Amino acid sequence: MDLNSLVQSSIADTTGSLAPFAPELILCISIMGLLLIRLLPFGDRIDAGYLAAAAAAVALYFGGPWSSFVSPSAEPAELFGGMIVYDSFTVGIRALLLAFTILFVIFTKFSGMPGKEDATDFYCLILGAILGMCLMVSANHLLMVFLAVEMASVPSYVLAGVLRGNRLGSEAALKYSIYGAGAAGVMLYGISLLAGLTNTAHLPSIATQLSVIVPELSRPEQMVLMLATLMIMVGLAFKLSAVPFHFWCPDIFEGATAEIGAFLSIASKAAALALLVRVSLGVGVLGPDRITAADIPRPQIESSEESDDPNIAGRRTENSNATDVGLFAVADEVHSHAGDSSDPASSDSATTGLPLAPVRNFIGVLIAILATVTCTFGNLAAYGQTNIKRLFAYSTIAHAGYMMMPVPAALSLAAAHPESARDAVSAIVIYIAIYMFMNLSGFAVIAFLRNTLGTGEIADFAGLIRKAPMLVICFALIMFSLVGLPPLAGFVGKFALFASLADGYQLTGETHLIVLLVVGGINTAISLFYYLRVVKVMTIEPESELLSTHDTNVIGYVPLAFVVVTTVPIALWIVNWNQLAGWSSEAAQQLFG
Amino acid sequence: MSLIVFLPAFAALILAFFPKNTDANVFRYGTLAATLAVLVAAIVAFFFPGGLHFDASQAQLQNVELFSWISSEAFTIDYFMGIDGISFPLIVLTAGVSVLSMMAAWSITKQVKGFCILFLLLETGMLGVFLALDFFLFYIFWEVMLLPMYFLIGVWGGPRKEYAAIKFFLYTLFGSVLMLIAILMLYFSSDLNTLDEQTILSTHVVKTVIAGDGSLSAAEGAMESLRARGYTGTVGDKKVHTFNIMALAAMGQNGSGLFDTELLLGWKLQHWAFLLLFIGFAIKVPSVPVHTWLPDAHVEAPTPISMILAGILLKMGGYGILRICYPICPEAGYDFRWFVCTVGVISMVYGAFAALAQKDFKRLVAYSSVSHMGYVVLGLGVWSVGTSQGYNWEYWDMGIKGAMFQMIAHGVSSAGMFFMVGVVYDRVHHRNLEEFGGLYGKMPVYSGLAFAIFFAGLGLPGLCGFIGEVFVVLSVWNFSYLLAIISAAVVILTAGYILWALQRVYLGAEYKGPHEEALTPINSRELLVGSVIVFFAILFGIMPSLVLRYMDATIDHQAQTLTRVIQTIDENRAAAALDSSAESFDGMPTTTADQVNVRHPLNGIALTKPAPKMSAQNN
């Protein structure tokens, strides 16, 4: 293969990849537009917020699951030579992120958080972070994982300190960035170890490589593999604010404004969770196209780099489009036993991924432990909080724990029961979607109260119900939804999540799944206490001094309307969550064979 | 029927739109009208022919409402409601006690609007629990009650209201989380394919139409949509899950071994499920040792809420055990019979002794509830017991009926007792038993009513408390002489604390406490509530058949079916024990009962069942 054809093919691949990548491109263009528009004479008068919302809306229009523009085929595809994977999961989570961006911008408009001066910078950073998160969701290569995480993190560091002259905010930003840099370094180390061990950084190829080498690994090599997994997990755990990498979270949430709290707790967490799913399934499960590899005839092209292992035939994958041979040659090696291609039955036994079982088990137990500790610690630490933002910080930590729970279930189920594994991932998607509304309106209430009362101390909200009954009713609904009490939407999420654990346990008999289920259940009961305390202060206790100077309807009617509008879905979702369930299971559709 | 359930919620919605400064009486009368409407609707709809008529002679579900609610790939959830002989008496009780307690709620003067709205939401939740037959729906109604109850205790309660309210909430939530785990485990091991088409119809898994001769047939297209989900009628690889409580019960009873998978500690799934569900329900009942929320909640709650708590909420525990635990997990219920009965007896004894020791009038009544509800647990637990004389379902039947009657009777008498305490508390604002006395002289009518109600609670023959206790004690006699003697002896303790309390409060020469001037005779509203309760206490006491006739058919049917199931289980176990002893005698110890010939419990057909095994999955 000469240079010319190589260039030709990579150009073809790149141009072919552009269409599904449109939402990200739109975000890029609008970031530049936002920055440049200030140079124009009338630029000052254009509101950056509306531009950002419009950009997100356009990106959503082109990137949503309904758009024929980006989903020409039902098959998952790898873009840009395998750097990015484009499948239903990408589309689903990306649509959630973009929808959240729109809601978030509207929220900031009501709360008036970025002043006119800062507006452009603020929304540029938001869009930049969202762009990074979109890449996190679709990352298919360890380098991309790292780049995307950094791309999402760096704007977040700035956002944490975006309020000038706010000492707490600056401190928070510094803490956040130092922590982030540390975690990123560790993660990068882990990535290089893993890449070194498997000779590739392309996730599906790592899986196929591992399935070959794991049975033959020597003890030190096993240690290296475990260490690499652990280190990568550190980076992900940092983004998820999982215990013990959560220390930044309460400080940032207290120091930064409530708006940033909402952004970090929802968008950042959703993307990190999606990335966790991607990485753990990418490493632990042979990709769906590989599972059917034996049945589908496809052109065989010699890899430029011959492997010594006779078991590894250099073989093209279906959707890497014969373009990236030189670039990611190793990436194309597909695990395929010599006799398998003619014998579907024996390939079936290969598809159950037996050699990968220890890897899956290790990752699954690791995540299960993380989830257990995170959830329990978050809930227990929230007890003592007196500041509502800190309380919410610990609440998001606990929720990260809950949201991680279906991942071990999906890992255990992936090989033998792909349908149930899909349900497990779709439980995560359901939870994210519902969590988005819960936390957004929760932080909205906090931000609006801060605007009028200038405080975030829970004690100052005492007796609020006598002044603003509607607001308190909404806030109480949000809090109970966060506990997961029916008939509120939070219950739907928790139910789906626990259901995946129960299903996983019954099908596989893995003890750590039942432990997770019990831990999740008990944590639900524990968490009631601190959420309820806030509601109790607002409803049962006598009015605080601070409030007595305020009129009724403390926060004004327009913000109240926003809170009500975002709370209505929480209260009524249970009436019909058919769409949500169907849509989320569609999103998880292509992750498993 | 949905109309009855959601009528209170609808009324609450309307009340929510009235401005806050509306006259409190508007809210009160509005709420009262709504609760009355529910009662009238329940009585008219179910007693009189036409429309939603309830036919007491039939054992099956009636007036079924079934709609598909959620049908995603992972879950199939129906909106499924219906009544039978178990739920019907409880529905009428709920509607009745709600009316009475709303009439008692005139003493609430603070934030009447909020109180009325929450009260109506609570009623919707309570009615829903008794009517819902889809496990998911049941769970939702079960939890829906918690929030209004928390606020009703927390806002309108006594001095330690916050502590009491959160304790109530935490206990119940803990129990219901355990219940949720059990629900999910049962759901994912259920398989509609083990049920034949006739059972599918009779358990209302699909929408049915009733033909003129009373036979059921599937509604148009209903069977087809079930087949589309993978139903074939023969057990295959793909399981078709369901939340339908009736269908789950049929699976638990048909010997398909669906719930026999071995889980942790080598217990079968149904043992775990039974235990988790039982703990959840026992917290609600409440049984010792998970009863401690009850005295606090009762003491701190305002009078009408105490009436609801004691009169209705506690019954949900018993209802859950009867409706869910035993039918779905009969074998586990059978194995845990001593456990359940012991819990019941301990509750009875402990509650009675604790009541003897109380100084607070309301606390005494609260502990008497613990004691009385112990009879319910015992009566239900006796159910799963075979006797030395063979398998006679009639003894068990009597236990269940005793428990059910006890629930109704306790609903009447305990609501009455709390009301009586509330009347005097409204006047003198204390409940210290040591500081009463001589009320008989100052409030003769009230005291007369109170005597009648407390005697009903005591279990005096001729009043409603007697029948349930006698039924339970008689049926226990066949199970264990010891437990029967203890439970009969508790009646003496009960008489002790009630008579002693009556003596300290109503008799004696003079009133010893503060606010003597406030002891005025009761007003007509209080008189009405009190006399209605007394009327029913006497009516049920002399004509128990009024209540029993509605539950006879259903409970007889359930007891007979489960007796056969237990009998089969016993026979299979005996056969297996015989097999294994024979094999170990031959020196082949390990490969025991892998293929045991078992008889189908319901029709006696022999079928070959592989021994329960964890689905092996080694990666």
Q: Would you say residue A308 has pLDDT above 80?
A: no
Residue A223 contacts residue A229 (beta carbons within 8 Å): no
Smallest Cβ distance to B154: which of A356, A419, A536? Answer: A536
- Taking the C-alpha atoms of residue B205 and residue B58, their distance in angstroms, rounded to an integer, is 19
pLDDT tens per residue across span B515-567? 777 788 888 888 898 999 999 999 988 888 888 888 888 888 888 888 888 88
Of A212, A233, A353, A196, give the one whose Cα is nearest residue A287.
A353
Size of interface A-B (CB pairs under 8 A): 123
B611 backbone dihedrals φ, ψ, rounded to 5°: -60, 145
User: Residue type at A456?
Assistant: G
| Beta carbons of B70 and A357 less than 8 Å apart | no
Sorted by sequence, the CB contacts under 8 Å of residue A349 that are 6+ apart come out as: none
- Taking the C-alpha atoms of residue A319 and residue A329, their distance in angstroms, rounded to an integer, is 14
Mean pLDDT, residues A340-369: 65
Which of A 409-428 lie inside 8 A of B, CB atoms?
412, 415-416, 419, 422-423, 426-427
| Beta strand pairing call for B216-218 and A84-86 | unpaired
pLDDT at position B132: 92
Q: Which chain A positions have a beta carbon within 8 Å of B74's beta carbon?
A: 423, 426-427, 496, 499-500, 503, 581, 585
Q: Tell me if chain A has a CB within 8 Å of the CB of B71.
A: yes
Residue A532 contacts residue A541 (beta carbons within 8 Å): no
Crossing angle for the helix pair A511-539 and B161-189, to the nearest 10 degrees: 150
Q: Would you say residue A244 has pLDDT above 90?
A: no
Interface test with B, best of A365, A383, A485 (most B CBs within 10 A): A485
pLDDT tens per residue across span A82-112? 888 888 888 889 999 999 999 999 999 888 8
In chain B, whose CA is at the least distance from the CA of A573?
Answer: B70
Q: Which chain B positions have a beta carbon within 8 Å of A528's beta carbon?
A: 169-170, 173
Q: Tell me if chain B has a CB within 8 Å of the CB of A480.
A: yes
- Length of chain A as a residue count: 593
pLDDT at position A147: 93
Residue B479 contacts residue B561 (beta carbons within 8 Å): no
CA distance B443 to chain A (A): 35
| Beta carbons of B73 and A536 less than 8 Å apart | no
Which of A 326-365 lie inside 8 A of B, CB atoms?
352-354, 356-357, 360-361
Which of A 105-144 lie inside 8 A of B, CB atoms?
none
Q: Residue B191: which region, alpha, beta or left (left: phi > 0; alpha: psi -120 to 50)?
A: beta
Sorted by sequence, the CB contacts under 8 Å of residue B588 that are 6+ apart come out as: none
- Taking the C-alpha atoms of residue B282 and residue B143, their distance in angstroms, rounded to an integer, is 15
DSSP codes joined into one string, B383-448 = TT--BTTB--HHHHHHHHHHHHHHHHHHHHHHHHHHHHHHHHHHHHS--BGGG---HHHH-HHHHH
Residue B84 contacts residue B62 (beta carbons within 8 Å): yes
Residues A455-487: b if buried by 16+ CB within 10 A, e if exposed: ebebebbbbbbbbbbbbbbbbbbbbbbbbbbbb
Q: Residue B50: which region, alpha, beta or left (left: phi > 0; alpha: psi -120 to 50)?
A: left
Interface test with B, best of A506, A517, A530, A535 (most B CBs within 10 A): A506
Q: Which chain A positions have a beta carbon within 8 Å of B139's beta carbon?
A: 486
Q: Tell me if chain A has a CB within 8 Å of the CB of B261.
A: yes
**Whole-number percent of chain B with pLDDT over 90:** 20
Which DSSP symbol is given to A459? G
- Taking the C-alpha atoms of residue B243 and residue B187, their distance in angstroms, rounded to an integer, is 6
Crossing angle for the helix pair A119-138 and A48-63, to the nearest 10 degrees: 20
**Whole-number percent of chain A with pLDDT over 70:** 87
Smallest Cβ distance to A581: which of B74, B144, B189? Answer: B74
Q: Tell me if chain B has a CB within 8 Å of the CB of A43.
A: no
Residues B284-316: b if buried by 16+ CB within 10 A, e if exposed: bbbbbebbebbbbbbbbbbbbbbbbbbbbbbbb
Q: Which residue has the higher pLDDT, B57 or A293?
A: B57
| Beta carbons of A517 and B70 less than 8 Å apart | no
- Taking the C-alpha atoms of residue B412 and residue B301, their distance in angstroms, rounded to an integer, is 18
Smallest Cβ distance to B177: which of A496, A514, A525? Answer: A525
- Taking the C-alpha atoms of residue A363 and residue A89, their distance in angstroms, rounded to an integer, is 21
Range of weakest confidence among A389-393, B21-25, B395-399: B21-25
Crossing angle for the helix pair B545-585 and B524-542, to the nearest 10 degrees: 50
Of B308, B353, B362, give the one whose Cα is nearest residue B94.
B308
ipTM of the shown complex:
0.84
Q: Tell me if chain A has a CB within 8 Å of the CB of B21.
A: no
Q: Which chain A positions have a beta carbon within 8 Å of B178's beta carbon?
A: 521
What three-state secondary structure class fits B181? helix
- Taking the C-alpha atoms of residue B224 and residue B247, their distance in angstroms, rounded to an integer, is 18
pLDDT at position B66: 84
CA distance B75 to chain A (A): 9
Q: Which chain B positions have a beta carbon within 8 Å of A578's beta carbon?
A: 70-72
pLDDT at position A432: 93
Q: Would you say residue B493 has pLDDT above 80?
A: yes
Q: Which two three-digit tokens encode residue A430?
A: 């359901």
pTM: 0.86
Q: Would you say residue A433 has pLDDT above 90?
A: yes
Q: Which chain B positions have a beta carbon within 8 Å of A480's beta carbon?
A: 147
pLDDT at position A591: 81
A334 backbone dihedrals φ, ψ, rounded to 5°: -120, 135
pLDDT tens per residue across span A151-201? 999 999 998 888 777 788 888 889 899 999 999 999 999 999 999 988 888
| Beta carbons of A426 and B74 less than 8 Å apart | yes
Q: Would you say residue A347 has pLDDT above 50?
A: no
In chain B, whose CA is at the least distance from the CA of A575?
Answer: B69
